[in-house]
Structure 1
Amino acid sequence: MEFISPMLLEQIEKPFSDARYVFEPKIDGHRLELSRSNGKTRLFTRHYNDVTLKYPELVTDGPDIILDGELAVMDPDTGIPDFELTMSRFQSKKSRLPISYVVFDILQYDGVDLRDQPLLERKSILDCAITDSPTISKIAYIDGRGEDLYDLIVKRKMEGVVAKRKDGRYHAGKRTDDFVKIINYSYADVSIAGWRKGDFGWLAHVNGRPAGVIELGVPPTHKQAFNGVAKTLITGEDREFVCVQPLIKARVKFRNLTKGGMLRSPVFVKYIFSA
């Protein structure tokens, strides 16, 4: 069964509008490639893990095809993708939470490789190749008005926007500015209460309570500055962390709060210095 390494997204900070692009909502789930050949369907994550048995709803008859999309479980109250529910379905052997496979590209169809076709031509073929259902659907997109879509995404508290050049080709396994993402981040001020002994990570506290681990966005110079001060603030340690007095403050950006009140994927922005 053929697997094509998915094209990846460059990231930019601000939304934009441009008639050369179409804009899609970013679906907060996990990447999923559907590959069907000779009547046999296989499902793969972006890292080539076979997850066919996890989603039997997607194993159906049809033409030879390779689809690229996002697998999500929707919040039953809002209809918005819920990452925690998605991970619950992904990690459980018994869960049958209803899934939505949102398809945004078609890479092969009926034996023809489509990756060198412009995006809008691929989307036209995709329109004919699959019929929307509660389980599988084509992603919606708008022409040129990225800022309008981003404003709507913010109001609905969704993950972000993906901008794609209309004439963009599909570059397997690569990042190019043909496809870019703009994340709808929230921001918080945290205290750094320790560092992880293994892989880099700072333990973040909010109002004196653990709120996540900062792993991303910290420049080497800022790590050095932290190490120089933090060693004088050590209060103890456990198996995973060295704990310090939470006197060093930082601003972080994050995707959303988990149901347990943790910052999801916090990214360092800057230190905060008291006046």
Structure 2
Amino acid sequence: MFISPMLLQKSEQPFDDDSYITELKLDGIRIIWTKFNDKVRIYTRHKNEVTANFPELTNLNLPNGTVLDGELIVPGKGGKPDFEAVMERFMSKKSNYPIQYCVFDIIYKNGDNVSSLFLSQRKALLDEIIPSDNPNIITVKWVYGNEMNYFDIIKQNSLEGIVMKKADSRYDIGKRSNSWLKVINYQYEDIYITGLRKGEFGLLLSFLDGKPAGLMEFMPPNNRKTLYSMYKVISETDKFKFIEPIKCRVKYRNLTKKGKLRIPSFVEWL
């Protein structure tokens, strides 16, 4: 039984508020885990069933009538989630990266819909049913408040960000709610735009030393108009127009293992 997950709104900055629960934002794949009639089914947030991809999650000691929400990660160096590794594991059945399902919410327990309970109450239900002796499944650790200090620690350790959730929030199935906020620990970089992709929008980027920095697919419409009015083509292929470099600042999640910007988006012209 698929349940469309509750989604988060963005907050540019954290703020201290003890009415919120603060969690680490895990860098992985959102997973809905279900068990009914002794049959486990695992779904992505977009309703793609991926049960066969993760056989180690099909024999968990959990009761029938359970629906869980959480993030699937591959613990990397120092336990830090490795996004590229989890995507490799997700895309290839030949990949042998060890996975961990980090559960942060419960929607059904023993066949009962518990989405109307407070989040703090649902967290208590998780503690009742999640086994403590299986490394493939854990509950996400959380604290009341302390958002500013928590976010400082996230920045010091180059982690993805934090999630702030109202302790008395219900689970709004399939909805994006202001009761759940994500604060991303963006990195910033000054780069050059060196090319335009033909067809679907995309911009080739390079670092200031000339090394390739990846592809940017996120730019506000007004900034696109500015770009289109100023670029000068110097050469082109069937896929790209190469232009005289234009300097700007972008924000991004982290560097990939190949040294490229992950999910860069435009900030300002320089």
Match of 1:225 in 2: 226
Structure 1 residue 62: Cα displacement: 3.2
- Structure 1 distance, partners of 2:12, 2:104, is 22
Partner residue of 2:4? Answer: 5
- TM-score if structure 2 supplies the norm length? 0.96
Pairwise CA distance, 1:265: 0.3
Q: Which residue of 2 aligns with 1:250?
A: 248
Q: What is the CA distance between 1:209 and its match in structure 2?
A: 2.3
- The size of the alignment, in residue pairs, is 266
Q: Please tell me the residue identity of whatever aligns with 1:112.
A: D
**Matches for 1:122-137 after TM superposition, within 5 Å:** 122-132=122-132, 133-137=134-138
Moved more, 11-20 or 101-110: 11-20
Q: Tell me if structure 1 keeps the 8 A contact 2:62–2:129.
A: no
Number of the residue aligned with 1:158: 159
Tell me by how many angstroms 1:115 deviates: 1.0
Deviation at 1:240, TM superposition (A): 2.1
**Cα drift, residue 238 of structure 1:** 2.0
- Alpha-carbon distance between aligned partners in 1 of 2:74 and 2:233, rounded to the nearest angstrom: 42
> TM-score under structure 1 normalisation?
0.94
Q: Is the Cα contact below 8 Å between 1:100 and 1:137 reproduced in 2?
A: yes
1:122 Cα offset (Å): 0.7
Task: Verify the 8 A CA contact 1:197 1:241 in the aligned structure 2.
Answer: yes
Q: CA–CA distance in 1 between the matches of 2:153 and 2:79?
A: 15
Distance in 2 (alpha carbons) for counterparts of 1:39 and 1:239: 53
Give the match for residue 117 of structure 1: 117
1:70–1:101 contact (8 Å) kept in structure 2: yes
Q: Distance in 1 between matches of 2:210 and 2:241?
A: 16
Structure 2: give runs of 5+ residues left out of the alignment.
none
Structure 1 match to 2:40? 41
* CA deviation map 1:33-92 (0-9, x unaligned): 1011010001101111111111000002531200000000011x3111010111111111
In structure 2, the residue corresponding to 1:78 is in which secondary structure?
helix
Superposed structure 1 runs of 4+ greater than 2 Å apart: none
Counterpart secondary structure, 2:79: coil
Q: Is the 8 A contact 1:39 1:62 kept in 2?
A: no
Once the two structures are superposed, what CA deviation does each residue of 1:12-31 show, in whole Å capped at 9, x if it has no partner? Answer: 11111101101000000010
Q: Determine the structure 2 residue equivalent to 1:215.
A: 217
RMSD: 1.0
**Match of residue 17 from structure 1:** 16
Amino acid at match of 2:188: Y
**Pairing of 1:145-224 with structure 2 (within 5 A):** 145-206=146-207, 207-216=209-218, 218-224=219-225
- The AA in structure 1 aligned to 2:100 is S
2:48 partner letter:
N
Aligned to 1:234: 233
Match of 1:271 in 2: 269
Identity value in percent: 44
Aligned-pair distance for 1:141?
0.4
Q: Give me the whole-angstrom Cα distance separating, in 1, the residues matched to 2:260 and 2:249.
A: 15
d(CA) in 2 for partners of 1:222 and 1:185? 20
